[in-house]
């Protein structure tokens, strides 16, 4: 796949007093912030930017560069979810109003140690140009402005990566493709590329506001048809694949898919065999009677990074609620589903580190 350097706009940190407030507002007020001088050029040269992110989950390194929309149209930038036309139209309008991309699409690829080593080498060769502390995360940006180094990165990505995968930003990429079809000069699009070893895939947990007329005891009896149920003395996360932890009527249970049900999974596709699909199919649909999890307001989602206490707090607010904690999808499973041409169920993954509005900007 092709990547290339670009002319970047960066936040003028000397003018920004409260970074948490400023970057939380960048999505809405970017045109105004631009006019008021809150962004400045990274220089006359086209650059690539090595981004390093430190947070509670780890220390991650990736590369900001422009990717080729032609690679996206050719299937070399692989999708794993459908986009919504209404959301694309809204994003198109915002992009035209800003005349800029203010948040990169996050792409991932199977670990290539040679790429990781080169990025680490460049963080030593190019000291951090600036650092942003935002919502408990530390983001450092190393600007690669020597042409011989940006070309070396481009050669390495072309050599090692026949394709990459969209981790976050399907609507941004779909919008970029539409813009390119309208104007062929807008062929290259700001992306952040992180190897599969340089990100964490977190789960989206579920809260369901119905027991479909069952009492807690009756609901457990229904679950026993497909799951082995292990009462837990305290809350915890699932410890393995095909285990779901459930919070019901102030008690905690581990639900382990029965062996005969596991054997049946060979009949299903990679996406249909994921734990999130098992939960949707065997529990939310078959027992709780919810057929459309995309739009049914009784199903709510909680990012795994918010922790178990958030699930417990929301469940205990109201009777007739049940919570489910999932085992995170692994990188290889994510890529297998993407390669098969399938889409992941809604709210299956939550990637960290997160890309943020206004940290690096590509102007048109």
CATH of the domain at 307: 3.30.1760
- Indicate if the pLDDT at residue 60 is higher than 90: yes
pLDDT, tens only, 272-330: 999 999 999 999 999 999 998 878 889 998 888 888 888 888 888 877 899 999 999 98
Q: Are residues 125 and 220 both part of a single domain?
A: no
pLDDT, tens only, 215-232: 999 999 999 999 999 999
pTM exceeds cut of 0.95: no
Token reading at 61 = 């390194």
DSSP code string of 194-243: EEGGGSEEEPEEEEE---TT--HHHHHHHHTTTEEEEEESS-----STTE
Q: Are residues 328 and 278 both part of a single domain?
A: yes
- CA neighbours closer than 13 Å in the CB half-sphere of residue 72: 27
What's the pLDDT at 273? 95
Alpha-carbon distance of 243 to 115, in angstroms, equals 35
H helix runs in 194-257, sequence order: 216-223
CATH of the domain at 144: 3.90.1530.10
What's the pLDDT at 79? 87
Cα dihedral 170, 172, 174, 180, rounded to 10, equals -150
What's the full length of the chain, in residues? 364
Q: Are residues 294 and 359 both part of a single domain?
A: no
Q: Are residues 342 and 356 both part of a single domain?
A: no
Q: At what angle do helices 147-160 and 113-125 cross, to 10 degrees?
A: 170
Q: Are residues 267 and 304 both part of a single domain?
A: yes
pLDDT, tens only, 127-151: 999 999 998 899 999 999 999 999 9
Stretch 327-341: mean pLDDT? 89
- Indicate if the pLDDT at residue 88 is higher than 90: no
Contact 271, 259 (CB under 8 A): no
């Amino acid at each position: 796949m092709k990547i290339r350097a670009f002319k970047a706009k960066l936040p003028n940190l000397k003018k920004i007093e409260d970074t948490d407030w400023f970057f939380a507002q960048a999505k809405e007020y970017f045109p105004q912030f631009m006019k008021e001088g809150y962004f400045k050029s990274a220089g006359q040269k086209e650059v690539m930017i090595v981004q390093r992110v430190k947070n509670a989950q780890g220390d991650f390194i990736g590369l900001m560069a422009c990717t080729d929309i032609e690679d996206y149209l050719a299937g070399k930038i692989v999708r794993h979810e459908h986009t919504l036309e209404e959301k694309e139209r809204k994003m198109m309008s915002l992009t035209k109003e800003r005349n800029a991309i203010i948040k990169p699409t996050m792409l991932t690829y199977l670990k290539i140690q040679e790429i990781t080593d080169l990025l680490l080498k460049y963080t030593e060769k190019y000291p951090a140009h600036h650092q942003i502390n935002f919502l408990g995360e530390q983001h450092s940006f190393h600007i690669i402005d020597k042409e011989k180094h940006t070309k070396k990165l481009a050669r390495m990505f072309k050599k090692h990566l026949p394709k990459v995968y969209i981790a976050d930003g399907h609507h941004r990429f779909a919008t970029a493709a539409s813009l390119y079809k309208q104007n062929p000069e807008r062929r290259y699009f700001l992306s952040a590329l992180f190897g599969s070893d340089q990100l964490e895939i977190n789960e989206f947990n579920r809260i369901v506001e119905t027991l479909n007329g069952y009492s807690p005891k009756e609901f457990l009896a229904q679950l026993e048809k497909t799951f082995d149920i292990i009462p837990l003395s305290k809350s915890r996360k699932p410890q393995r694949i095909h285990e779901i932890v459930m919070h019901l009527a102030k008690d905690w249970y581990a639900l382990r898919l029965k062996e005969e049900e596991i054997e049946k999974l060979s009949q299903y596709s990679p996406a249909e065999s994921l734990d999130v699909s098992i939960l949707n199919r065997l529990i939310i649909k078959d027992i709780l009677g919810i057929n459309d999890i995309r739009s049914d307001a009784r199903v709510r989602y909680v990012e795994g990074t918010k922790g178990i206490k958030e699930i417990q707090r929301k469940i205990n607010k109201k009777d007739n609620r049940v919570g489910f904690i999932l085992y995170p999808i692994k990188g290889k499973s994510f890529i297998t589903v993407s390669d098969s041409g399938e889409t992941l169920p809604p709210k299956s993954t939550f990637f960290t580190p997160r890309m943020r509005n206004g940290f690096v900007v590509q102007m048109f």
